[in-house]
Amino acid sequence: MINIIILGPPGAGKGTQARLIQEKFGYIQVSTGDLIRHEIASGSELGQYLKPIVKSGGYLDDKIILQLLENKLKTVKTGAILDGFPRTENQANALYEMLKANHQQVDLVIELMVDKEILAKRIAGRFSCANCGTIYNEYFNPLVNEGKCDHCQGTEFIRREDDDLDVVQKRLEIYYEKTQPLLNYYEKNGQLSQVDGMQPVGGVASQIEVLITQYLKKPQMCVN
Ligand code: AP5
| Tens digits of residue pLDDT in 161-193 | 999 988 999 999 999 999 999 999 999 999 999
Residue 9 Cβ contacting ligand 1 at under 6 Å: no
Residue 65 Cβ contacting ligand 1 at under 6 Å: yes
Please choose, from the candidates 187, 191, 184, 178, the residue with its C-alpha nearest in 3D space to the C-alpha of residue 91. 178
What's the confidence (pLDDT) of residue 220?
Answer: 73
Residue 134 Cβ contacting ligand 1 at under 6 Å: no
Q: What is the mean pLDDT of residues 216-223?
A: 76
How do strand 28-31 and strand 135-137 relate by DSSP bridges? Answer: unpaired
For residue 142, the one-letter residue type is P
pLDDT band for position 223 (50/70/90)?
low
Q: By the 8 A CB rule, do 143 and 161 touch?
A: no
Residue 171: partners with Cβ closer than 8 Å, 6 or more residues away: 10, 57, 162
What's the confidence (pLDDT) of residue 68?
Answer: 95
What's the confidence (pLDDT) of residue 157?
Answer: 98
Proportion of the chain in helix, strand, coil states, percent, rounded to 5: 50, 15, 35
Q: What is the mean pLDDT of residues 190-198?
A: 96
Q: What is the pTM of this model?
A: 0.96
Cα(219) to centroid of ligand 1, in Å?
33
Residue 32 Cβ contacting ligand 1 at under 6 Å: yes
pLDDT in tens, 109-160: 999 999 999 999 999 999 999 999 999 999 999 999 999 999 999 999 999 9
Cα(220) to centroid of ligand 1, in Å?
31
Mutate to test the pocket of ligand 1, among 19, 49, 126 (most ligand atoms within 8 A of CB): 126
Nearest atom, ligand 1, residue 127 CA: 44
What's the confidence (pLDDT) of residue 219?
Answer: 80
Cα(223) to centroid of ligand 1, in Å?
31
What's the confidence (pLDDT) of residue 165?
Answer: 87
Nearest atom, ligand 1, residue 53 CA: 27
Catalytic residues: 14, 87, 126, 160, 171
Residue 19 Cβ contacting ligand 1 at under 6 Å: no
Residue 108 has pLDDT above 70, yes or no: yes
Helix (H, G, I), strand (E, B) or coil at 150: coil
pLDDT in tens, 3-31: 999 999 999 999 999 999 999 999 999 99
What's the confidence (pLDDT) of residue 148?
Answer: 97
